[in-house]
Amino acid sequence: MGLDDIEDGTADAAKETGLERGWLKGLLGYHLRMAHLALYRDFAAKMASFDLTQKQLAALELIATNPGASQGDIANALSMDRATMMGMVKRLLSRGLIERRSSTVDRRRQEIRLTAQGEETMKAAHIIIDRHEAEFSSVLTAPEREALIGLLCRLYEKRPPL
């Protein structure tokens, strides 16, 4: 199956803007970016009332799933630098969504956990995010969605070193 066999939406986009996509139609990065933008716009619209970014919600989910993880652990999992993670932690702390405490094993290590408010926020967010994911991916069959996730994971998890 080639590019011409897939309805990729570039014809519709070309009609809207009057621009031919040419060489871009064959670039993986272009299509990943366009898909990301469409997904992000839909996500942001549905999650606006939470005033949380995708990355903040991902951090909250990692904290919920890994109570007691360190800031560094969460930053590494999200490919964030320490300074950016520190800013995010401060924002989440100020909103009462997480708490930070010294580890009982190593007092130098700061553990992060969700607060009760953070747990309630994540329960509500899961409902909306699940609906967003279902609606957004409704153009795919369940096996196509699963295959797409697998292919995307392969692209970012098993890249050869630079």
Would the CA dihedral through 89, 152, 135, 36 be positive or negative?
Answer: positive
How open is the CA angle 13-18-19, to the nearest 5 degrees?
75
In the chain, what are the domains? 1-50 (no CATH), 51-162 (1.10.10.10)
Give the residues across from 101 on adjacent strands: 111
3-state secondary structure of 67: coil
What token pair was written down for 136? 């957004």
What token pair was written down for 24? 């871009």
Residue type, 35: A
3-state secondary structure of 99: strand
pTM for this prediction: 0.79
**pLDDT above 60 (res 101):** yes
**pLDDT above 90 (res 156):** no
Identify which of 74, 24, 70, 51 has the alpha carbon closest to the alpha carbon of residue 125. Answer: 51
Q: What is the DSSP letter of 85?
A: H
DSSP string over 135-150:
HHGGGS-HHHHHHHHH
pLDDT in tens, 2-57: 444 345 555 565 567 789 989 999 999 999 999 999 999 999 999 999 999 999 99
Instruction: Round to whole Å and give the CA distance between 51 and 35.
Output: 22
